[in-house]
Structures are given as structure tokens and as C-alpha cells.
A and B are shown apart, each in its own frame.
Chain A
């Protein structure tokens, strides 16, 4: 399940949907090392702690702990992983929540094909990325 590319940035994927994990993997695997997958919040924290990835692509809505809680926990526990939220919520409250827990990227799942790679590149360089969307 894991492919190792030594010089590529190390990315951890966390989403409760296998299909979404597969899609993201296909989009990133050429350029990045996918160090692991997680399908709930607890797994994500555990994997992030274990693999210490450069980047965490994190779904917001997940069982046990949601993405906001995971990011908050990781930040509070000293983990310096960069976080891109992957979500369906086109909502400022979620974006504010994402920024407040230290995330740098906010990518809508519907725009994943066009936005995810640029987002990862921006975030890895320490800049923010947010998918363009219309507020509901």
C-alpha cells in the first residue's frame, strides 16, 4: 500500500472514504511519497505521530475525531506537520476553524483535480491555499 520515494515530500492521507483516498493517491503519488493512510481521526493522529509526514491531507468529517480535532491535537502535541483540509464544506466557519488549528490549505473535494496539487505545493512552501468557491 505504501510506495517509497526517498526524495519526495512525505504525505499522510486521512479520509473515511476509501474511494476518496484512492482518488487523492492517484493525484499525488507521482510527485509525493504517500507515507500512510488513515480512515478515522484516531488513526490519523496515530499515523502522523508514527510517520511524522511533511504533509497531512485531512478530511474534516471522520469518525471518532473530526479533522479539526485531529489538527488541533497534533498542533497542541508539538507535531509540526503541514495540514491541508479536504472537505465538501464551502463555508467560512470551516475555513476559520481550519486556520485556527494551524492548517495552511483548504481544498474542496469537488475541485480536488484542479486544486489539490497546487495546494500541496503551496502549503509545502509554507503558503496558504484555499479553493475558490461560492459561499452558501
Chain B
């Protein structure tokens, strides 16, 4: 792309005067001398000449991008900058036209793009001379277009921003009474002035229009000074070029903005120089639309068929400092307004630090909150714990069970409760720190050793019968349970004691009654059996002997003798029956022949009577057995074997009598139906109760193993103390 610089547009006042003067001539010459003929470009390449009326490179670049994005072929851009302030001069325009003509003579141009109104006016005016037949696509034109469009031209017509600027001024200053227009009102400015004038007519019922027309001058300032209060300025003077007098548009602008809120359709000139703001067309839209139109033209679409496109969107720009100065809140601005020169707020200046500070404060607050929360929770937990401790302490103190806690290592009582005090007669302060031996609590010291040993081994103990000695010497029987616990890292024994003295006595009394009943029954049976045997049976025997004696006498006839023989037999039978009754009531065999013979004999009798088999075996020579134990063994054998035969349904039974060193065991086993042993033992079956009572008479125990359909085994174990002071029955051996 080549660029033809005719003049460089300026925005600052000092640059404007010096630089533009130099550049105008030098750059035209440079351009003319250095440009490359367009004819050297490829035949398909499109040549576009941009006449820039001062919109700046940004807009032109945007247009170029838009064009290239809509047109695929190669495009060569040439840009001619037109100097705005001198453009009103006819000679300037003629010279410029000649320079362009000289530069582009014989060159094929495909499109001319005038940017801004003055460029369009130039292009239209010199069209036939400079580039006849070349289509024109204009952009950023804000002047009214002719009713009948120029042939060969189309483009983008932009809003002037007049209406939007006036609306903005009156919106931000509702108390405005007058609007002063400062404008040269000549050349292109006249179009604006006329538009401003007609626009203000809409508001004539509210505001007065004051026209301050003419170039920048001290007189203009004088007139400004005479303006009434509540006046808003519409400023429409361009900055002058270097040919203008020393007093220029910017001087006027500075003076005006000193006193009045100033608005302009050229916000890029006034904003930043004391002006409040203004509205102008959106500069971002024009180039895009123009680029699209240019692409259509380059693509061969007849330009006259392409209607002019309107960019009606205006952008409001305001100076934040002036808003502050005139006490205008930002909220009064129309939506989408651009606020320029906004001083960063304290927040914006130190946002990073504020954010860090806030974060620190938040973190600290959170930490403080967490600390308070933790503290509150701890306090709550402490209160709960205190309550719980109080509750447990109260439960411990007032438990109906006697409780003690003692160190197992130091053998010292640490704590006892009120019931313990009642049970033992020892007060807590008398017991604490002392050992059981000091207060002589345990009656059976060997039990205490075994108790402790078992506790340490197993960790807990349940329901041990313990005899204790009260402070007053009274012996009480307790049921004790203990658990090995840890208190402050020390192994302790938590013991619970229940006084069962009365219960025990009652049980013993009951057992005693029961034992006495059994004993009485046995005694009575023995007595009757003896009566039968010693008296009745002896009498029968004697009678039989006498009959036998009589029968031996001579002189008796055979019939009498025969009768006497029959009587003898009869008497003998009676004697046997009586003997049998006596035997059942009380087994003389047990007494005379010993428990082994009696048991074996009983098994044989039962087997014969019931047509079953009973295997009797003996082990360990259980012959010298105390009389009470013999009786117990025999009675329980009778009961259990009779029960087994009656209920088991079995045909075969085993009885084993076994003596070990300090115990004699009787086992009765069958392979019959079986039964629920625990239920039977806890039930009311008199047979089992009776057997248990009998066993307990000789300190024996009965165990029953039975499962439905798996038979029954009843075992009686009776301890035989070596020094037992019970009369032993000598057996047959």
C-alpha cells in the first residue's frame, strides 16, 4: 500500500501552526516524487484512493480491514490527507486537485473513498476532473446530502450529533434558560449551525437561543461575558491553523468554559479543554459500513444501485472533572455515555492494598470468630462435662449398689459410695487411702487373692459370693462384681457389692427345710422298711418255720400236711413281697452291700422290669463312699433312670459310676428323644428339682446335657473330702 500525505492533521494548537505549514508543501512534493505508478500493479489489483478529511488513521484502518474482509482480491490503498483548516480556500483546493491529478494521471482508480464531509465535498467538486467515472464511497459525512444523490456515489451518512448534544446539555442542566451557539456559521459549519438552530426551535418554549457567530475574536469573548446566567454554550469553532491570528478557537473555548457549561458536537476538541461534553456519531460503525459498501463496489456492483447507509448512533462523551465542577451526578448521564478523565477514586487508587487489607481483616475476623467459636464450644463442653461429672458423681454416690474404686497396684481404696459406707460401716474418709487388709474387710483372704488374680487375668468378674466383715465385726454375705478400669493412668478395680445376706439366709433356710424334708422322708422310709423287714418279715419267717416244724410232726394226715405245705409256700411268698416293699422303700443292699452293688442291682431290676438294656459300669473302685453320698447317688440313679426309661423312648441305657481322687461321678445316658435342658432345669419338674436338692445335700452338682432327638446325659458330681467326717459304708470288698 502506498500512502500519499498531502497534509498532516493536527490537534494541538502550537503543533498545528508550525507543523502544518511545513508539511503542506514538503509532503505534497514528497508524495508526488516518491509514489509508484499504479500501472505497475497487477491487472486484477484494485486501486482505492482514500481522501482523508481528518478522521485519523484508526478509522481508515478499520475501513480497510472491513473492505479486505469482504473482498477477496488484492487491493492497493492510497491515502491523501486533506488539511482541514485551509480547506475553505479555493486556491488550496485547486492546488490540491492539481497535485492529485498530476500524481494519478493515467492511473486506473477503482474507487475513491472520501472520509469526512470536507473530503466528500472535495471529491464531488473535483470528481470529473480528477477521477471521472470512478465510483465514490464516502464515510463520516455529517452534512446533509442532496435530495438527488450524486451519480456514481454512495456511502455512509452519519448523525451530526446536534440533537443528542442539545438533549444532553438540557438534560444535565434542567434549569437552562438560554443556549448560546458559538460558531463561524460559514462553510461546512453553517450546516451545523442551521441544524442547531432548527433543533433549538423545538425547545423554544423553555430556552432562548443566542447566536454568537463569527471567527474567534476578543469581541466574541466580550459577548460571551454578557451572556446571562443559566446559559449553556454550544461550541462549534475549529482550532485554527497557523495562518490564523494569535487569538484562536481554543482561547475562546478556554474563556467560555470558565463561565458556562460548554457542549459541542466535536467532543474530541472540547472535552479535555474545559468542555463538559457532547455527542457525535459512533466512529467505530462508519468504517465498517463503508468497508462493506466499498467491497460491494469493487466486486462489481453498480454504485448507483447501492443506497446510502445511515449511521444514526451517537456516542456521548463527557469530562468527569466538569461533571464535578457543575455538580452533575453521573446518574444523570444517558446510558452508554463515555466518562473521560475520571480521577481514580481512593478505592481505585489503593484497590490492591484495600483488597489485601480487607482480606487480612476478613481472615483475622474469621480467626477471631473461630477462636470465639472454639472457646464457646470448649466452654459448652466443659459445662456439659461438669454436668455429666456431677451426674455421674451423684449416681456413684447415691447408687443403691455399694461401689468402691481401689488401686490394684497400691492396694488402696480411692473412692467408695454411700451404700458402701452403709454396707461396711466404714466412712469414706476412714477407708480412703487404706487397704482392705487394714480395715479387715475380706473374711476369706484366700478368696480375695483368687479374686484379684482372676480380675487381673480376665479384666472383669461377675457375681462372686464374697463374705465381708463390717466395722462392727458383723459378717455379711455379698455378691460382688468387678471391672478392671484405668483411672489417671493407674489400674484400678471398680467393685460393685450387693448385700445378699438376708437372701442367702432365706435360701439356706429354704434349702435346710428342703434338706430336712428329704432327710425326714428317707428316715421314715428307712423306718418303715426296717419295720417291715425286722418285724413283719421276721414274724413271717418264724411263722413259716413253725409251720415247717408242725409239718414235720408225725400223725398228720396227708391232706393236712399238703395244706400246711401250701401255707408255707404262701407265707414265703408274703415274706418275699414284704421284702420287696421294704427293699423299694429302703434298699438294704445299699446299706449292706454298698453303692456299687446296689446300683448294679437296681439297673438289673429296672432292665428286667421294663424289658430294656441297661449297661452298668464302674470305674475307679468307688466302694468306700459315705452313707449320705451313697444314698444320694442311689436315689438320683433311681430318679434319672426311671425318668429316662419313661420319657426317652430309648431301649438302651448306660449307667457309669466313676470314682476320681476327690469326686464321685454318676452318669446316666440315653440315646432317646432328649429335651430342652435349660428350660427343664429352670422349670417346675419335681423330679429335677428333687435331684438338685438331693445333690445339694451332699454339696454335689447335677449337669444335664440334652438336645432334642440327640439323647440325654445326666451327670452327678459329688465331692468326697478326704477328711470327711461321715460314716463310710464298707462295701463287700
Contacts and interface: CB of A to CB of B under 8 A. Distances in A.
B580 interface: yes
A97 B533 contact: no
Nearest to A67: B592
B552 A17 contact: no
B549 interface: yes
Nearest to B579: A88
B541 A109 contact: yes
A113 B547 CA distance: 9
Given A23-B545, A89-B579, A97 B588 contact: no
Interface string B105-143: 000000000000000000000000000000000000000
Nearest to B568: A110
Given A68-B732, A69-B730, A93-B597, A60 B545 contact: no
A20 B730 contact: no
A7 to B, nearest CB: 26
Contacts of B549: 113
Interface in B555-600: 568, 571-572, 575-576, 579-580, 588-589, 591-593, 597, 600
Interface in B516-558: 533-534, 537-538, 540-542, 544-545, 548-549, 552
Interface string B132-161: 000000000000000000000000000000
B541 A68 contact: no
Interface residues of A, number: 28
B572 A110 contact: yes
A91 B602 CA distance: 12
B91 interface: no
Contacts of A72: 730, 732
A19 B592 contact: no
B733 interface: yes
Given A61-B592, A66-B592, A68-B592, A88 B548 contact: no
B-side interface mostly: helix
Contact of B545 (A16, A91, A93, A109): A109
Contacts of A136: 576, 579-580
A49 interface: no
A84 B733 CA distance: 18
B601 interface: yes
A61 B552 CA distance: 28
Interface string A103-118: 0000001111110000
B542 A94 contact: no
Contact of B592 (A17, A97, A110): A97
A114 B730 contact: no
B576 A68 contact: no
A90 B634 CA distance: 21
A16 to B, nearest CB: 7
Interface string A42-76: 00000000000000000011000010110010000
B541 A88 contact: yes
Interface in B695-733: 730, 732-733
Nearest to B550: A113
A101 interface: yes
A95 to B, nearest CB: 11
Contacts of B540: 110
A93 B733 contact: no
A100 interface: yes
Given A110-B575, A113-B545, A136-B580, A93 B593 contact: yes
Nearest to A136: B576
A110 B593 contact: no
Contacts of A109: 538, 541, 544-545
Contacts of A96: 732
Identify the interface centre among B575, B591, B732: most chain A CB within 10 Å of its CB: B732
Contact of A100 (B537, B552, B733): B733
A23 B730 contact: no
Interface string A21-54: 0010000000000000000000000000000000
A97 B545 contact: no
B584 to A, nearest CB: 12
A61 B542 contact: no
B689 to A, nearest CB: 31
A101 B733 CA distance: 8
Contacts of A17: 534, 538, 542
A113 B571 contact: no
Contacts of B580: 136
Contact of A97 (B542, B579, B591, B732): B732
Given A23-B542, A113-B552, A90 B576 contact: yes
A110 B732 contact: no
A132 to B, nearest CB: 12
Contacts of B571: 110
A20 B538 contact: yes
Nearest to B588: A61
Given A60-B592, A93-B593, A97-B732, A88 B542 contact: no
21 contacts: A16-B534, A17-B538, A17-B542, A20-B538, A20-B541, A68-B732, A88-B533, A88-B579, A94-B589, A94-B593, A97-B592, A97-B597, A100-B732, A101-B732, A109-B538, A110-B545, A110-B568, A112-B541, A113-B548, A113-B552, A136-B576
Given A89-B588, A113-B548, 12 more contacts: A17-B542, A68-B732, A69-B730, A88-B579, A91-B589, A93-B593, A93-B601, A94-B589, A96-B732, A109-B538, A110-B572, A136-B580
